[in-house]
Structure 1
């Protein structure tokens, strides 16, 4: 009995001592500190940023993501005692919550109704503080979004600052408000508190004046707190391992049509074995080429390179020998990892020769596998959780090569932080969970296929099903029928072709499809809605942004736009003479590249300095939805008027939808430039096009008088139109070489 009492006294003394430490460390009242101690010890809370919230000058509104029943108790322990906490009815009545409820002022409200704002405005104007708990919804429904409007209105009337708070890891708690299949439960996950600097609504709007309404400015700031709840300085290997810890090492994470499925543990074991071999023939920080299809092997190799602190240079094997040689030389690649079976099956002997001509040697995965010993496998099994080399998120992780549709391809250098930030930006905007299955048919050498289709599922626990080619129009619907994906990535061209060959049930498992790289046609969107009940959400990106810049969501979407800017990104529009209601898009954000490597300065990183000029002409509505008007290089200046060549292409496509078309601008002595249509339509007639243009309300300047008929439109390996070659073809056919 005495021993028990002594032990109990010791525990109480330790509790009191830790409470005293917390009181002075965070500036809490003693009772707050005592009731905070259990959270601090149980969840190893990272709480340094809570001082930002405590020190925020009143009037202030703390906007807290309500992921679990824990947040109200935690915030009552940590926020200033004069804060008025607006609780949901369950928290307001829960018996276990009673000790924490006594720490501050609380009122209950019915989430079905908007706040009674006049009373709250009076509280704030008296230098008060409010804590508002908003539902944890990446894509809030109309009812939830009304709460954002109410908070915005109250903040503006009281001139109050907003402080968003997000408790990272709370979704995994047993008291989580998220279903267990979407957030696997853990008794004592490590938690960290993400707190952003106080800002008024006016200050939030001023950050992106071209694209924010008041409520959307608050919503975007709230999403930023979720984004920065992730430690973007972890490095990709550690971020993937963190995901394995959250969902379990036995959680199936990748699968292909040949090798089958691998869980996280097997993924890391295989990656470590490969990484050891890569480490032996390359140097830390060296660019190592990956010449592999969408299959388990490319993910194992990528994670192995990340573990060994090598830079994965993704080789576009469809770009042609000349481009591959240029890529190898530009990035100073000395070793390229590939597979003999893949090279033979895809008939890529010319690409292998191009790699060797660039000065690189091939490292064959078949040879690596045969050299692996039982001791290697045992070591990897025991040490799979640890990377081979120290990880640094600020260092380069991946090199991607731009398509060069309008000029010479460049090597884009992306850091671990760039890629992880972009994946987490997408996760903060689109609802996904470990209950999802993502079908990725886009090649990993393409930025969309790499970040969205590979890195995003790896760091979020979404199972990834890899298919080696997006061109298998008849097979992919059958794969979807068997794999039962809930999410899919694609382009309009690919999606339209899949729909033509698919049976009605093939894509019935899909919740939504993310489409990019080209505009989604209304008919493609319609067929997926009607036949498969799947929503196509259109986005926009560029390799230099790792790549996603903006995206619609299933709930917050607007057809014909590419959605709203991702959290933590800023944009500005540069006016363009001759174009009204739009401007040249410049971007800044944590996902913007480290810089370029170019052929004239191989191996040398040319850092991005400040804002990035995308070269895209866009318009933005008051809700922040972005519409792409065209590339700056895809506008022609005719008699002083700016004409979008992309808009002309859409006009032509509407008239002859079964054919392929490209519109280019060529020199004209009288008017500066003129528009030429290059088309596969044998019966294309200028008069018919002119008549159709008038009916569609198009200006006469938009209608090409010159039509060049070809059997095929020149394309790049990525499938995009090669406008450089198309323009040269048009100039040659029209006899304008001297003028060009």
Structure 2
């Protein structure tokens, strides 16, 4: 009886506590007591948190709440918190059945909560319904409040399959509201765009970004399972989250002995499990990983090390020998840089260090902050001396979250990364994004192995792949039937994607290439196409959470200079003239140096770099437009254009091409058929065996410029 009495007393106490807490929850709010009881239970049982509702709580007049419904809990969580009298319904079925209700409620100054399908990339049918809802909201001058229920995807009531979202008994539930907005004068597709953008903004606001890279990986391990296979490389090594983080913890203790907190440490390694563990171990040790481009040559590597004041470089003897980097190593040693080889560290690790790693894999070796410099990447040097770009954990995790708000990814995916980790796209898309979101990552050490990579893809069976146009064209030409059949998506960046490249992958493998746009300073993704937002010839729409400004350019009517701001934009630069000193970004805006056009729906079309325009006969002529013309005339070849000083016309154009024979008459005919100005026709054409490329796949314009100048000098002899 004593036990029974004790149980009754505990249950009675819990009931009284619930009732009293609910009464307090109701006091000073618009909730009914029934809502307060439900809300209190949700907070206690699920640990539910509500954020961002202050702005919407003061709204008067008609309001539409909209949420991409992730689970059966969503409606319970929202009914417990939203004002009484809100009409709740799912956005599905025949619109004629619910649109009269929508218009009637809004006309009566009422409120609606619309539950949209769960996917980040809405279907055409969903976008059409968004447009109808948006039109009704515009007519009623209603305010729209986008919502997101974070964590519900992983709850027992989830609408996602277990293959795409692992279940957790007690996921952290957060109900988050984005800032309210009105439709204003939007019409047609723009109405649906605003609705989808609002949902993306709510999802981004719900993301947990205030953590370090190391903490993000630990949280991912907890969410997706420590025993989940997450990482493999071409050497045959496979690692689970737990195995990877044990290795990270063991290495980080060693790195902390020679890596001062906050001081960049160089990393010169190919795509491999060891490279990923090294980067994360430095994050655990509180030292930024400075990713050195080992393909750039001895002088460039030494210059980068000097710019970031790097005193130590982590590398591998086997890699140095295999990649024939002895000259680069000699140059680094001559400049006073210490090289530490992973093989030596591995030999020195004792059994007791491994035991500590097993016990402490969830904790960093040294405390750091999410706002500290986490990664240093170097600009390509395609237009001058490389600068060190300082990125914080928040920059990188924000960019990963922004991508997750625009493209559907899940733990069912496998990402095949051939882009080097010293490339910003390779680091973010090919390491941070997959590891933070439970996507299996398969690494390959070099993007230049055109004939080997398709066969590796056949074995790995990836669903997602990243690349540049140059690399993708090489793989497509070398691939056999079935090599890329497992892919559902390719995301391309760094350079324009040629129609021929798109055709090869779509016709042969049924794979759509989604073109994006970015830069190292933005961690790097700025815009990307998706299946819901797709426009050929564009690089997509700006990612959620970002802002932009456009400045007129003298001599141009069809393009403006783009500046960007957002949580993914860098902390600042390490500059060659001030080694080791972080020059912070002044204000929130970063001038991209790109000339763009933006259409009514926000699709961005790149017209070229400001530095890649020539002034000919008083008009601004895009070198990128000349390259695009050459691609259309000779689609099987590679091309690059530069401008040289000309005393008569100001500047003159030189085109380098691998097409033979290359005559101006073909370009003139192509320009006329496309309605392009003949100012695009180059003054001279140089036939070359191959267009010089940087290790990242970008065109090496300094080298091309040198060749063009040398060619002009030879012609004058």
- TM-score class, shorter-chain normalisation, is over 0.9
Over 3 Å counting, the alpha-carbon distance change for 1:129 and 1:714 in structure 2 is same
Q: What secondary structure is seen at the aligned counterpart in 2 of 1:479?
A: helix
Give the Å deviation of 1:128.
2.7
1:685 aligns with 2:663: yes
1:437 CA drift (Å): 0.4
Cα distance in 2 for residues equivalent to 1:45 and 1:319: 51
Deviates more, 1:559-568 or 1:678-687: 678-687
Q: Is the 8 A contact 2:51 2:176 kept in 1?
A: no
Normalised TM-score (structure 2): 0.95
Q: 1:18 aligns with which of 21, 39, 44?
A: 21
Conserved 8 A contact 1:537-1:552: yes
Deviates more, 1:692-701 or 1:622-631: 692-701
Which of 7, 12, 32 is the aligned partner of 2:10? Answer: 7
The 1:12/1:592 distance shift into structure 2, 3 A limit, reads: same
| Structure 1 stretches lacking a partner, 5+ long | 89-108
Contact between 1:244 and 1:264, CA under 8 Å: does it hold in 2? yes
The residue number in structure 1 matching 2:436 is 459
Distance, in Å, in 2 between the alignment partners of 1:65 and 1:25 is 30
2:164 corresponding residue in structure 1: 182
2:467 to 459, 483, 490: 490
1:614 and 2:616 aligned: no
5+ residue gaps, structure 2, are: none
2:596 matches 1:594: no
Note the C-alpha offset of 1:396. Answer: 0.9
Cα distance in 2 for partners of 1:261, 1:25 equals 55
Displacement after TM superposition at 1:27 (Å) = 5.6
Q: 1:680 to 1:31 in 2, by over 3 A?
A: closer
Structure 1 window deviating more from structure 2 (192-201 vs 361-370): it is 192-201
| 2:473 aligned counterpart, secondary structure | helix
**Which residue of structure 2 lines up, in the alignment, with residue 62 of structure 1?**
65
Q: How does 1:612-651 map to 2 (within 5 A)?
A: 612-651=590-629
Deviation at 1:351, TM superposition (A): 1.6
Is 468-477 or 431-440 further displaced after alignment?
Answer: 468-477
Count of residues paired in the alignment: 712
Native 8 Å contact 1:652 1:661 kept in 2? yes
Between the aligned partners of 2:687 and 2:507, the Cα distance in structure 1 is: 36
Pair 1:38 & 2:58 matched: no
How many angstroms does 1:45 deviate by?
1.9
How does 1:75-154 map onto structure 2 within 5 Å? Answer: 75-82=78-85, 84-88=86-90, 110-113=92-95, 116-117=98-99, 119-154=101-136
- In the alignment, which residue of structure 2 is the partner of 1:704? 682
- Mean Cα deviation higher: 528-537 or 115-124: 115-124
1:348 match: 325
Alpha-carbon distance in structure 1 between the residues aligned to 2:234 and 2:688:
38
Q: CA deviation at 1:649?
A: 1.5
CA RMSD of aligned residues (A): 2.3
| Mean CA deviation greater in 292-301 or 73-82 | 73-82
Does 1:256 find its partner at 2:233? yes
Deviations 1:347-372 (A, max 9, x none): 11112123223432111111111111
Moved over 6 A (4+): none
Q: Does 1:71 align with 2:53?
A: no
CA contact (8 A) 1:287 1:312 kept: yes
The structural deviation recorded for 1:691 is 3.9
8 Å CA contact 1:573, 1:585 repeated in 2:
yes
Q: 1:404-443 maps to which residues of 2 (within 5 A)? A: 404-443=381-420
CA distance in 1, matches of 2:236, 2:29: 52
Shift of 1:636: 1.2
Distance 1:200 1:550 in 2: 24
Matches within 5 A, 1:139-218: 139-202=121-184, 213-218=190-195
Which deviates more from structure 2 when the two are superposed, residues 623-632 or residues 212-221?
212-221
The 1:477/1:77 distance shift into structure 2, 3 A limit, reads same
Q: In the alignment, is the contact (CA less than 8 A) between 2:500 and 2:636 conserved in 1?
A: no
Q: Deviations over 1:297-334 (max 9, x none)?
A: 01111111111111010000001111101100000111
Deviations 1:672-726 (A, max 9, x none): 2221223344533334443443344332211112233445544333332222332
1:403 aligns with 2:405: no
1:339–1:114 Cα change, 3 Å? farther
The 1:246/1:671 distance shift into structure 2, 3 A limit, reads same
Deviation at 1:343, TM superposition (A): 0.8
Distance 1:474 1:700 in 2: 39
Partner deviation per Cα, 1:644-668 (whole Å, 9 max, x = no partner): 1111122223444444432111122
1:283 to 260, 273, 289: 260
Match of 1:96 in 2: none
1:487 Cα offset (Å): 0.6
Show the 5 A alignment for 1:485-524: 485-524=462-501
Matched-pair contact (CA < 8 Å) for 2:146–2:198: yes
Paired position in structure 2 for 1:222? 199
| TM-score calculated relative to the size of structure 1 | 0.92
Out of 169-178 and 73-82, give the one that drifted further. Answer: 73-82
Shift of 1:433: 0.2
Q: Is 1:331–1:603's contact at 8 Å kept on the other side of the alignment?
A: yes
Kindly tell me: are residues 658 and 111 of structure 1, through their superposed partners in 2, closer, same or farther at Cα, counting changes over 3 Å?
closer
- Once the 2 structures are TM-superposed, how far is the Cα of residue 33 of structure 1 from its aligned partner? 1.4
1:91 aligned partner: none
Tell me which moved more, 669-678 or 326-335: 669-678
Instruction: Report SS of the residue matched to 1:572.
Output: strand
d(CA) in 1 for partners of 2:132, 2:203 = 20
CA distance in 2, matches of 1:543, 1:459: 20
Q: Secondary structure at the match of 2:377?
A: strand
Larger deviation: 582-591 or 57-66? 57-66
Whole-Å Cα distance in 1 between the matches of residues 135 and 189 of structure 2?
A: 15
CA contact (8 A) 1:396 1:414 kept: yes
CA shift in 2, pair 1:33/1:404, >3 Å: same
> Counterparts of 2:321 and 2:373 in 1: how far apart (Å)?
31
2:194 equivalent to 1:243: no
Q: 1:319·1:718 contact (CA, 8 Å) conserved in 2?
A: no
Distance 1:25 1:402 in 2: 54
Q: 1:296 Cα deviation (Å)?
A: 0.2
Out of 6-15 and 462-471, give the one that drifted further: 6-15
Give the match's secondary structure for 1:464: strand
Give the Cα separation in 2 of the matches to 1:310 and 1:634. Answer: 36
**Partner SS, residue 320 of structure 2:** helix
Kindly state the Cα deviation for residue 344 of structure 1 after the two structures are TM-superposed: 0.9
Maintained 8 Å contact 1:421/1:590: yes
Structure 2 CA distance for aligned equivalents of residues 713 and 657 of structure 1: 14
The answer to whether the Cα contact below 8 Å between 1:573 and 1:586 also exists between their aligned partners in 2 is: yes
Deviations along 1:574-615, one digit per CA (max 9) or x if unpaired, are 222332332111111111111111100111111112211111
Q: Quote the offset at 1:51 in angstroms.
A: 4.0
- Give the one of 707, 713, 716 matched to 1:729: 707
**2:247 match:** 270
Tell me how far 1:240 sits from its aligned partner. 1.6
